[in-house]
Amino acid sequence: MATSDQVIGAKILFLLYGAVIIYFVYKGSKKTKSFSDYAVGSLAFSPVFVGLSLAAAMTSAATFVINPGLVATYGLSAYLSFGVFFPLASLVSLVVLSKSFRKFGQSVQAVSLAGWIGNRYNSKGYSLFVAVLSLLLITFIILILVALTKVISQALNADQIWVLGILVVFIFGYMMFGGANSMVYTNTIQAIIMIAVAAILIGSGYRFFQNGFTGIFDGLKAIDEHLVKTSNTESPLFRDFFEIIFAQMVVGAAVVCQPHIITKSLLLKEETDVNKYLTTAVIVQFLFFSVVIAGLFARLEFPDLQYSGKPLNIDSIISAYVIQVFSGGITALLVGLLVILGLMSAGFSTIEGLIQSLSTTITTDIIKPLAGLKMEEENQITVNRIVIVVLGIVSFIFARQQILYPNLSVAIFAQNGVYAYFSILFVPIVFGIFLKNIKISVPLSGSITALIVYYFLYYLLPGLVQSGGLDMGYFNIYFSGKTQNPAIAASLAIILSLIISFIVYLVTRKSKVENS
């Protein structure tokens, strides 16, 4: 449990943090005169600021809180997955896709990812299809709420459900008036705090390096030999190199295809700003991804994964580690409070982008076309605020359920929604960027393939394997456990969707040539 000094310090910290957020939301909202301003901003921001904003938006509480907890539980295999292969693929993909997406985004004047796809393929139906799928991103909002709740409740020794309720009211409340203009301010501040905290968390394990890396490995091996193996057959997520390398790299490349990430480049006003923006984002994001090594330090700190005599679940390990390590003196207390602030910033920075992009999509790409009416700017803003309120209520209900009854970790719940989403969108975005004059049947075939394959692999195939109705030999290991790995379903769905769409592309291109 947190000491009384830690609790008092945390209360002061949270109040100050809330005041700063509200100030910048107010400052940004004064510049928001239209719904377009809310969605993509009206101010000319420095590319460094936008790059920091992107790094903060890409780095959710999963990176700082949940993934290190998985590393603490499963060891080196999880570290390789989240700290090496996933970052490598996602950063390369970010650079490749962002440049081209921005050019197309500017030309079609899109304010949302669904709008971009609808305009790119000249199809309102496709836009609506993508917009409805965007509702899957609610699962990511729920992950962040759970992670924030764990951090704040442990810092305050407070009831988790009450903390969750206050968080939902605060975050969704100020996002009703914030938007792109506010987020660049808040994300930049959050990114700066997160840089400092990332350095502190990475450096917090210095005492374990007294005997070099060998000492760390020996310490982990003494706890459980599976913790130092490059694959962990005892885990449900890191059993072999297919899960650790292939699946994570495919997912890492596709993860950029989320609205709060790929649309960030639309905030840049000049083409010459893109390189500086991406350089900033990649360097800072690499530092953030490196934080998962703190999971190994946490396991050495809690060899039996217990804190104050109570078992730690995956989502609580890093919060407990911070409270444990940064206590005992005024300096440690202040550093500990800064780390808590950084963990909060990691959550706030991403959840702001998700709420902004998801509410924009629901308002402009679902409600507006289905209503069949032209919405005035003022009405769009009002409808958007109502959407945010509904999102807040739904998010609270599901986050409460994940706090009380998690399936291994809230990460599984979130990945199941988010991974399905960007698996379905990967083909239309990549083909829309790099291919010209393609028929809508090409990207649509990819989206439908990914949708069917993902949910078949995740929900139906495990039942067939576990009932004995289907024997897949070695591959049974991926589908025979209680917890399924969403990265397996997502990576295979992406690969198959690419193959199917490319075949359709070649066929339609051939028929077009023959007809001409």
**What is the DSSP code string of 286-338?**
HHHHGGGGHHHHHHHHSTTSEETTEEPPGGGHHHHHHHHHS-SSHHHHHHHHH
**Do 478 and 485 touch, CB atoms closer than 8 A?**
yes
Structure tokens at 474: 């070695």
Residue 198 lies in a domain: yes
Task: Report CA Rg, the chain.
Answer: 23
* Cβ neighbours for 371, distance < 8 A, ≥ 6 positions apart: none
Residue 280 lies in a domain: yes
Structure tokens at 176: 């009703």
At 363, the amino acid letter reads T
DSSP code, position 77: H
Residue 39 lies in a domain: yes
In 204-311, which residue ranges form alpha helices assigned H by DSSP? 212-223, 241, 248-254, 259-262, 274-289, 294-301
Structure tokens at 373: 């009416």
E strand or H helix at 361: helix 330-361
Residue 484 lies in a domain: no
Q: How far apart are CA 244 and CA 223, in angstroms?
A: 22
Residue 31, pLDDT score: 66
3-state helix, strand, coil in the chain (%, to 5): 80, 0, 20
Residue 10 lies in a domain: yes
Helix (H, G, I), strand (E, B) or coil at 262: helix
Residue 320 lies in a domain: yes
Q: How far apart are CA 181 and CA 33, in angstroms?
A: 11
Question: Would you call 172 exposed, middle or buried from its count of C-beta atoms within 10 A (0-12, 13-18, 19+)?
Answer: buried
E strand or H helix at 139: helix 138-156
CATH of the domain at 96: 1.20.1730.10
DSSP code, position 192: H
How many H-runs (helices) and E-runs (strands) does the chain carry?
26, 2
Characterize 269-290 residue by residue with b for buried, 16 or more Cβ atoms within 10 angstroms of its Cβ, and e for exposed: eeeebbeebbebbbebbeebbb
E strand or H helix at 378: helix 377-404
Residue-level pLDDT, tens digit, the chain, 516 residues: 677 888 888 899 899 988 988 888 887 777 666 666 555 555 567 888 888 888 887 877 778 888 999 999 999 999 999 999 999 999 999 998 887 777 665 555 556 778 888 888 989 899 899 999 999 989 989 988 998 999 899 889 899 999 999 999 999 998 887 666 677 677 778 888 889 999 999 998 888 887 777 888 999 999 999 999 999 988 989 999 999 999 999 999 998 887 767 777 777 777 788 889 999 999 999 999 999 999 999 999 999 999 888 899 898 899 899 888 887 778 778 888 888 888 888 888 788 878 888 888 898 888 888 876 666 666 777 888 899 999 999 999 999 999 988 777 788 888 888 899 989 999 999 998 888 888 999 999 999 999 999 999 999 999 999 988 888 888 889 998 888 899 999 999 999 999 999 999 999 887 665 555
**Do 407 and 168 touch, CB atoms closer than 8 A?**
no
Q: How far apart are CA 307 and CA 92, in angstroms?
A: 39
Residue 492 lies in a domain: no
Residue 129, pLDDT score: 92
**Domain span including residue 84:** 4-405
Dump strand ranges (E) for 132-291: none
How many domains would you assign to the chain? 1
Residue 125 lies in a domain: yes
DSSP code, position 82: I
Report the DSSP pairing between strands 306-307 and 310-311: antiparallel
Structure tokens at 172: 């969704």
**Do 45 and 198 touch, CB atoms closer than 8 A?**
no
Residue 88, pLDDT score: 96
**Do 37 and 179 touch, CB atoms closer than 8 A?**
yes
Residue 269, pLDDT score: 72
Characterize 337-360 residue by residue with b for buried, 16 or more Cβ atoms within 10 angstroms of its Cβ, and e for exposed: bbbbbbbbbbbbbbbbbbbbbbbb
The answer for 407, left when phi > 0, alpha when psi is -120 to 50, beta otherwise, is: beta
Residue 199, pLDDT score: 93
